[in-house]
Structure 1
Amino acid sequence: MGRRDELAEAGVRLLARDGIRALTHRAVDVEAGLPAGSTTYYARTRRELTGLVVAHITEQLASDLRELSIPASLEDATAVQIASAFLDEIARREDAQAARFALLFELRGDDELRGPLTAADPVRFALIDTARAILDAIGVADLQEAAVDMVGLIDALLLYRTAGAGPVDPTRVLTAYLTGLRRVGSPPA
Structure 2
Amino acid sequence: MKIIAFAASTSSKSINKVLVTYVAHQLPNADVEVLDLIDYPAPIFSEDTEKEIGHSESAKKLLAKLGRADAIIVSFAEHNGSYTAAYKNLFDWATRIERSVFHNKPVLYMATSPGPGGGKSVLAAAVSSAPYFGAEVKASLSVPSFYDAFDVQANEFKNAQLKQQVTQALDALVAELG
Please report the TM-score for the alignment, with normalisation by the length of structure 2: 0.28
The structure with more helix, counted as a fraction of residues: 1
Please report the TM-score for the alignment, with normalisation by the length of structure 1: 0.27
Q: Larger Rg: 1 or 2?
A: 1
